[in-house]
Copies of this chain bind each other. A is one copy, B any other.
């Protein structure tokens, strides 16, 4: 599987950023697990066909992310290498699916507001456009590391206390249960990958230029009636989406 390590010039993407992305990929692929450190700067410079200083810029960016740490005289140590495997199935729940991959998972409520449903939200939830719905903005983390941020919409008529219940119970599943909904399944998921915008960079603590996977999903009750319209943005370099059919 020796993926070619090629960098392109004059593409609008700086060489040091391309190289940083490639090294990050190699780390999460486990290419350097033997030694627990990245190859020497001079070797990397040779592999990528660039100057050592360019590699240093790339490594500095990765050190800034906390992914590696350079030690003078020794080398550049790998600090982290995880890529969480994230199941997407009919029963997708955040913390549950991660299983024993993380010691601690957390979902933090950023904001909540009640507002009239916009076109795509109304269509997804099968309610009248303009009907009131509750919007929750969350950031989910594993072991203190942000993994995804999401914007969810719930029909207010059915789940009037969604925000309060979530804040109390710290779980969408439990907040649903508090409204008398014991079970729900995913009926639709659409995925798109793109560069992270400014908000996402801040929320997910990403380095600029990073990629997010945006999943637009609809959950429904056992009768097939939509209960949640969610748009979740995953930090692409921290997750692997596993589709279970």
Contact = CB atoms under 8 A, between A and B. Distances in A.
Contacts of A3: 197
A87 B88 CA distance: 14
A207 B13 CA distance: 11
26 contacts: A1-B120, A4-B197, A6-B197, A8-B198, A11-B17, A11-B207, A12-B20, A12-B208, A21-B194, A25-B194, A185-B245, A186-B245, A188-B242, A188-B244, A189-B243, A190-B241, A190-B242, A191-B191, A191-B213, A191-B242, A192-B236, A193-B213, A194-B236, A194-B237, A195-B211, A211-B211
A176 interface: no
Given A13-B209, A208-B11, A245 B190 contact: no
B198 A4 contact: yes
How many copies of the polypeptide does the oligomer hold? 2
Interface of A: 1, 3-4, 6, 8, 10-14, 16-18, 20-21, 25, 61, 85, 88-90, 118, 120, 185-195, 197-199, 201, 207-209, 211-213, 236-237, 240-245
Contact of A12 (B88, B193, B209, B213): B209
B1 A118 contact: yes
Given A120-B1, A211-B195, A190 B243 contact: yes
